[in-house]
């Protein structure tokens, strides 16, 4: 760490294309982490990632209990049988537990995370094509979103020396 | 372990320049470290440093969210006071270890 890094990352451009808790939060933690290190940061939400920036959807993100072989029983550590996932309300309960655990670790809800990110100069964008597909209007997005971009505009924004694009 | 001299005081620091003994910290020392980081300490800076030290000494983890909720400073001002990497810079100036938090 103390060795001087000749090629430091100066800018990261993170694309979040999926909308589960872990997808959205991976992008948020990496994005906020970059801002905290003084790295310029753009966070771009597309496809199901829109779940994280549409006001009426972003309050309670969910995680998948079906089709998620890494899901384990809390406290027991054994794998959760896939068929349990069909129990009504189980997904909401598991998702609620995950949100609670994150809150205990001082990981904020999405809107508050956006506040921290934008306060530090990080920028948040939405994808135009995905918005058209999901029939979302700009006024339905969180107030922290600074614009709706086409893919070309995203690449333009991402340019520069020491800049990286990360697709989560 | 390395030592550094700030304002006539010799302090123990690790390889990244963070204090290994927060007890060696004084306001005069803080002003010198801040100067090294390109910051002129104001009363507001000192208020934040005091908050960070109190938190550290009571064993609580530091996070950017915690600072926002502290009532001492909001995040936007925090970024302005310690430009670049605020949590890393402020803890260095406050004479406490670099926080290991990811948020």
Q: Which of A32, A37, A120 sits opposite B103 (nearest CB)?
A: A32
Scan for tokens 């205990």, then name that residue. A104
Distance from CA of B16 to the nearest CA of A (A): 6
Q: Find which of A26-40, A61-75, B55-69 is predicted with most confidence, using mean pLDDT.
A: A26-40
Q: Is the pLDDT of residue A58 over 80?
A: yes
Residue A33 contacts B, CB cutoff 8 Å: yes
Whole-number Å distance between alpha carbons of A123 and A114: 9
* Residue A3's pLDDT band (cuts 50, 70, 90): low
Q: What is the mean pLDDT of residues B88-98?
A: 96
Q: Can you tell me whether residue A34 is helix, strand or coil? A: helix
Q: Which of A105, A108, A120 sits opposite B79 (nearest CB)?
A: A120
Cβ–Cβ below 8 Å for A107 and B15 = no
Whole-number Å distance between alpha carbons of A95 and A108: 15
pLDDT, averaged across chain A: 94
Whole-number Å distance between alpha carbons of A167 and B70: 34
Cβ–Cβ below 8 Å for B75 and A116 = yes
Q: Are A23 and A168 in contact (CB under 8 A)?
A: yes
Give the model's pLDDT for residue A6. 85
CATH numeric code, A11-167? 3.40.1260.10
Give the model's pLDDT for residue A16. 98
Q: Which of A32, A106, A120 sits opposite B66 (nearest CB)?
A: A106
Residues of B in contact with A115 (CB under 8 A): 68, 75
Could you tell me which residue, A74 or B75, shows the higher pLDDT? B75
Cβ–Cβ below 8 Å for A106 and B65 = yes
Residue B20: how many CB atoms within 10 A of its CB? 14
* Residue A105's pLDDT band (cuts 50, 70, 90): confident
Residue A162 contacts B, CB cutoff 8 Å: no
Phi-psi category of residue B63: left, alpha or beta, with phi > 0 → left and psi -120 to 50 → alpha: beta
Distance from CA of A80 to the nearest CA of B (A): 28
Q: B33: closest CA among B84, B91, B98? A: B91
């Amino acid at each position: 760490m103390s060795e001087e890094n000749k090629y430091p990352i100066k800018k990261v451009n993170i694309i979040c294309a999926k909308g589960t808790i872990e997808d959205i939060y991976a992008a948020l933690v990496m994005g906020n982490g970059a801002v905290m290190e003084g790295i310029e940061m753009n966070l771009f939400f597309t496809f199901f990632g829109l779940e994280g920036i549409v006001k009426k959807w972003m309050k309670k993100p969910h995680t998948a209990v079906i089709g998620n072989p890494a899901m384990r029983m809390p406290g027991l550590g054994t794998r959760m049988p896939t068929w349990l996932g069909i129990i009504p309300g189980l997904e909401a309960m598991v998702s609620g537990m995950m949100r609670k655990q994150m809150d205990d670790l001082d990981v904020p809800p999405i809107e508050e995370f956006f506040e921290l990110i934008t306060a530090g100069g990080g920028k948040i964008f939405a994808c135009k094509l995905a918005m058209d597909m999901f029939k979302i209007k700009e006024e339905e997005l969180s107030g922290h979103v600074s614009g709706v971009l086409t893919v070309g505009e995203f690449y333009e924004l991402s340019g520069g020396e020491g800049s990286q694009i990360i697709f989560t | 372990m390395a030592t550094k001299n700030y304002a006539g005081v010799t302090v123990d620091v690790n390889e990244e320049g963070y204090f290994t003994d927060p007890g060696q910290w004084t306001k005069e020392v803080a002003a010198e470290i801040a100067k090294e980081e390109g910051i002129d300490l104001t009363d507001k800076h000192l208020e934040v440093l005091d908050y960070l030290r109190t938190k550290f000494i009571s064993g609580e983890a530091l996070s950017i969210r915690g600072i926002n909720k502290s009532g001492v400073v909001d995040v936007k001002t925090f970024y302005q006071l310690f430009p670049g990497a605020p949590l890393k810079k402020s803890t260095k100036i406050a004479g406490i270890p670099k926080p290991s938090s990811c948020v």
